[in-house]
Amino acid sequence: MGFSVAIIVSLAALTSAASVPNANLKRQVSQLQSSYDFVVVGGGTSGLTVADRLTQHLTTKKTLVIEYGDIQFAPGQFDPPTNWITPHPNAPPSWNFNSLPNPEFNGKTAFVRAGQVLGGSSAVNGMFFDRGTKFDHNAMAELSGDDGGPPLTKWNWSGMYSYFKKSVTFTPPSASVAAKYNYTWDEAAYGGTGPVYSSMARFQWADQPVLRRAWQEMGINPVKECADGTKEGICWAPASQHPITALRSHAGNAHYANVQPRANYDLIVKHQVVRVVYPNGPKSGPPRVEVRSLLDNTLFNVTVTGEVILSAGALHTPSILQRSGIGPSAFLASAGISTVIDLPGVGSNLQDHSGPPVTWSYSSPYPSFGPLPSQMTSNATFKAEATAAFSQTPAEGPYTLAGGNSAIFVSLPHMTAQYKTITKKIRKMATDGSASAYLPPDIRTDPAMKAGYKQQLLVLAELLENPDSPSLESPWATSEAPGGAMALSFLLHPLSRGTVRLNLSSPLDQPILDYRAGSNPVDFDLHLAQVRFLRRLFNTTTLQGLGATETAPGAAVAADDAALKGYVKQAAYLSFMHPCCTAAMMPKPKGGVVGRDLKVHGAKGLRVVDMSVLPILPAAHLSATAYAVGEKAADIIIADWE
Ligand SMILES: Cc1cc2nc3c(=O)[nH]c(=O)nc-3n(C[C@H](O)[C@H](O)[C@H](O)COP(=O)(O)OP(=O)(O)OC[C@H]3O[C@@H](n4cnc5c(N)ncnc54)[C@H](O)[C@@H]3O)c2cc1C
Ligand SMILES: *[C@@H]1O[C@H](CO)[C@@H](O)[C@H](O)[C@H]1NC(C)=O
Ligand SMILES: *[C@@H]1O[C@H](CO)[C@@H](O)[C@H](O)[C@H]1NC(C)=O
Ligand SMILES: *[C@@H]1O[C@H](CO)[C@@H](O)[C@H](O)[C@H]1NC(C)=O
Ligand SMILES: *[C@@H]1O[C@H](CO)[C@@H](O)[C@H](O)[C@H]1NC(C)=O
Ligand SMILES: *[C@@H]1O[C@H](CO)[C@@H](O)[C@H](O)[C@H]1NC(C)=O
Ligand SMILES: *[C@@H]1O[C@H](CO)[C@@H](O)[C@H](O)[C@H]1NC(C)=O
């Protein structure tokens, strides 16, 4: 393996592009090296993980990262003098997407963000740092197919767990902090020395233990450690933050800024990858990378000799592929792009977590427990104390708690005795073929997409039936959350599938998202079961003792299927910012886009490494998974080139 010919670039073109003066860049555009073996497209969560590892281990090979955003680290979104209720006004930029209207949700759009900065979404996210279950990852491995590849390319739990561990350095809380908040953990789930930090906040608002007691009254049991592959119950999740400073740890600092300068690790920011180009067809890769400077709009090609790694995230990777002529051929034709590889799955398997809240209010006067987050804005003394505490070493106080770090994860069998009615419906629509009517219209009749969806539904039915595999997440939310006390219902394993497609009137801009939420009607059965389960909160002695009064959906609505469905349609958030699965790791005859080695089917020298490659969502927020996928992908690529 390997290649010896040095590469690249039309350096002339590169140097003519406007350079971006930035003190944090280790090299300006004009100083770029004369040859690159690897180009990583997107300096986000997975992309920087791969670039860091490739340059660390393949010391004779040169890697260039091309990032759309700038280098902009502090202040983070939740850093003083702000908290999560009033995010920092100068937080790093994000793409803001409003999806097409969702007909099943009264025409409501999904609002989705994605980081547009070095570090990608890990630099702007909520820092809740949990992992999916072993059931999720074994299901993904099953969907990825058995292509006879080496063990390294198996994506089952045992093939992933070591990469979850490797990616982070977890620092447990001190004994006194642990005792104060009843934190539990098991160091066996960690033990890595990765450059991303995770730790537990040294603060909780006073209503956290209240909800925790109520959860236990609902029959949900605390789980000692939720990061070891099982997490059905009440979970603590570490946050992606430094154990001493409590500042955000993200891909931009962990995998770039904190890396000692390496002669083989280059980055350009403020440049957009337009597409990859195969001058002699996709079998004679690697492709060239066509890049647009965001400063002067010039276009240039980067010639690559090793591989191009697409890591632009689940919303942008499919748009780069489509601009490259890799995607659903009928759609490409409508866009006037000639098809290079007909891959109907590109941008066609969009999934996200979604769901409504249940809400309540407390009897007046407000419960006597405190402090609650409003003190940060209403009480200058409290705020001054919080700011002083944060600047101590180690940092203390409210600012060490970014959002929340606990949640319940509950399986369908633990929510409703009727769970088999639901999974039976799923199996029936999968096996009799009626489910394909729920696929996006432009790929609905494609035999590969139909076969893949059928398999996804069968695998999901199994997950939903498993009493240890969560279907619902409800993160702790303070009684002072915007809109009042609320407990959100996340649908962790949705059945509906949406699309990401280029905007034909401006194909270089953000793509068009069609979430198609609720297009598979069984998602509503799941939403209803989850809301009915969460309403048990209101019957707990803990909440009743505090005079909690349900404000929505209410007993009358909850008692009636049609009325409750109406509530779900009106109240649901259609994205919890976890878009995925738009270049799924599944075989080509199942509508997949990449194989278990993450190579794009039919394309030479082109891989995808980001949250696009998951075939289905895990029962987790995605950043820990994005790092683990980056770590595993790096090992796969290194093994190919070493
Ligand atoms: C607001 C928000 C809150 C979230 N909260 C949490 C949370 O609390 N916990 C959690 O675990 N997860 C959370 N997530 C999700 C998680 O952060 C993401 O799923 C994960 O980081 C995605 O990683 P990625 O590598 O797939 O993409 P990203 O990290 O988004 O990286 C993609 C990168 O590609 C760049 N890019 C895009 N297009 C181009 C192009 N054409 N050319 C060059 N560069 C390009 C982008 O600028 C970006 O830097 C949240 C996400 C958001 C947006
Ligand atoms: C799971 O993955 C590991 C590689 O990490 C592999 O050795 C093992 O055979 C896989 N198990 C199955 C059942 O595929
Ligand atoms: C911690 O757990 C103990 C025992 O379960 C309980 O009595 C106590 O109230 C808990 N404290 C907090 C802050 O949750
Ligand atoms: C990049 O290369 C392709 C294939 O040779 C070519 O069609 C395209 O015009 C080039 N782009 C630029 C900006 O030079
Ligand atoms: C304001 O915060 C201070 C310091 O924590 C506290 O002692 C005081 O009771 C608070 N005042 C109110 C009105 O809550
Ligand atoms: C597509 O792009 C055009 C031109 O920029 C814009 O006006 C339009 O809103 C976009 N469409 C969608 C659905 O985002
Ligand atoms: C709450 O308790 C009442 C009285 O026991 C019961 O009728 C109702 O079904 C319970 N509600 C929920 C959501 O469990």
With contact defined as beta carbons under 8 Å apart, do 429 and 435 qualify?
A: yes
533-569 residues labelled b (16+ CB within 10 A) or e (exposed): bbbbbbebebbeebebebebbbeebbeeeeebbebbb
Ligand 3, atom nearest to 180 Cα: 13
Cα–Cα distance for residue pair 64/79, rounded to 1 Å: 31
Cα–Cα distance for residue pair 476/449, rounded to 1 Å: 37
How many angstroms is it from 182 CA to the middle of ligand 3? Answer: 6
With contact defined as beta carbons under 8 Å apart, do 361 and 484 qualify?
A: yes
Cα–Cα distance for residue pair 254/550, rounded to 1 Å: 44
Q: Residue 142 belongs to what domain range?
A: 3-76+121-178+248-350+579-641
* Residue-level pLDDT at 363: 76
Q: In the chain, what are the helix, strand and coil shares in percent, each to the nearest 5?
A: 35, 20, 50
- Report helix, strand or coil for 198: strand
In a domain, 218, yes or no: no
Residue nearest to atom 11 of ligand 2 (CA): 156
96 lines ligand 6 (CB under 6 A): no
Please enumerate in sequence order all residues whose Cβ is within 8 A of that of 617, keeping only pairs 6 or more positions apart, or say none. 136, 351, 352, 353, 492, 493, 494, 578, 580, 581
Q: What is the CATH number of the domain that holds 627?
A: 3.50.50.60
Ligand 1, atom nearest to 312 Cα: 34
Mean pLDDT by 10 residues, the chain (642 residues): 24 36 58 82 98 97 96 68 67 93 98 96 94 98 92 97 98 97 97 96 92 96 98 97 93 92 91 97 96 92 96 98 98 97 98 97 71 88 93 92 92 98 98 98 97 98 98 89 83 98 97 98 98 97 90 98 98 98 98 98 98 98 98 98 94
CA angle 128, 253, 377 (to 5 degrees): 50
40 lines ligand 1 (CB under 6 A): no
In a domain, 60, yes or no: yes
How many angstroms is it from 25 CA to the middle of ligand 2? Answer: 40
511: cis peptide before it, omega within 30°?
Answer: no
In a domain, 388, yes or no: no
How many angstroms is it from 40 CA to the middle of ligand 2? Answer: 28
Q: Which ligand is nearest to the CA of 153?
A: 2
Ligand 4, atom nearest to 10 Cα: 14
Binding residues for FAD: 45-46, 117, 273
Cα–Cα distance for residue pair 240/247, rounded to 1 Å: 9
Cα–Cα distance for residue pair 10/294, rounded to 1 Å: 19
- pTM for the model stands at 0.96
Q: Which ligand is nearest to the CA of 505?
A: 6
> How far separated are the first and last CA of the chain, in Å rounded?
7
In a domain, 154, yes or no: yes
- Among 177, 182, 406, which is best to mutate for testing ligand 3, by the most ligand atoms less than 8 A from CB? 182
Residue nearest to atom 12 of ligand 2 (CA): 156
User: What's the CA dihedral at 212, 213, 219, 220 to 10 degrees?
Assistant: 20
Ligand 2, atom nearest to 141 Cα: 14
How many angstroms is it from 66 CA to the middle of ligand 6? Answer: 25
How many angstroms is it from 92 CA to the middle of ligand 7? Answer: 46
DSSP code for 242: -
Catalytic residues: 578, 621
* Residue-level pLDDT at 6: 22
- Quick one: 582 exposed, middle or buried, by C-beta within 10 A (0-12, 13-18, 19+)? buried
Phi, psi for 158 (deg, rounded to 5): -70, -25
- 234 forms beta bridges with 222, 408
- Among 158, 165, 166, 636, which is best to mutate for testing ligand 2, by the most ligand atoms less than 8 A from CB? 158
570 lines ligand 3 (CB under 6 A): no
338 lines ligand 6 (CB under 6 A): no
With contact defined as beta carbons under 8 Å apart, do 104 and 95 qualify?
A: no
Strand order in the sheet with 406-411: 233-236, 406-411, 470-475, 490-491
- 449 forms beta bridges with none
Phi, psi for 38 (deg, rounded to 5): -125, 140
In a domain, 356, yes or no: no
In a domain, 395, yes or no: no
Cα–Cα distance for residue pair 483/361, rounded to 1 Å: 10
* Residue-level pLDDT at 410: 98
Cα–Cα distance for residue pair 339/330, rounded to 1 Å: 9
Q: Which ligand is nearest to the CA of 215?
A: 3
In a domain, 515, yes or no: no
Residue nearest to atom 6 of ligand 3 (CA): 182
* Residue-level pLDDT at 33: 66
Phi, psi for 574 (deg, rounded to 5): -90, -5
Binding residues: 45-46, 117, 273
With contact defined as beta carbons under 8 Å apart, do 611 and 580 qualify?
A: yes
* Residue-level pLDDT at 148: 85
Residue nearest to atom 10 of ligand 7 (CA): 539
561 lines ligand 6 (CB under 6 A): no
Q: Decide the pairing of beta strands 94-98 and 111-115.
A: antiparallel
| Cβ count near 103 (within 10 Å) | 12
Q: Decide the pairing of beta strands 196-199 and 168-171.
A: parallel
How many angstroms is it from 324 CA to the middle of ligand 4? Answer: 12
- In the chain, the number of structural domains is 1
Residue nearest to atom 52 of ligand 1 (CA): 125
Residue nearest to atom 12 of ligand 7 (CA): 536
How many angstroms is it from 298 CA to the middle of ligand 4? Answer: 12
In a domain, 531, yes or no: no
500 lines ligand 6 (CB under 6 A): no
How many angstroms is it from 548 CA to the middle of ligand 7? Answer: 14
Cα–Cα distance for residue pair 494/524, rounded to 1 Å: 10
Tokens describing residue 192: 């890595």
Using alpha carbons, select from 113, 121, 114 the residue that is nearest to residue 44. Answer: 121
Please enumerate in sequence order all residues whose Cβ is within 8 A of that of 406, keeping only pairs 6 or more positions apart, or say none. 208, 212, 234, 235, 236, 237, 475, 476
Residue nearest to atom 8 of ligand 2 (CA): 151
Q: Which ligand is nearest to the CA of 537?
A: 7
Residue nearest to atom 7 of ligand 2 (CA): 151
127 lines ligand 1 (CB under 6 A): yes
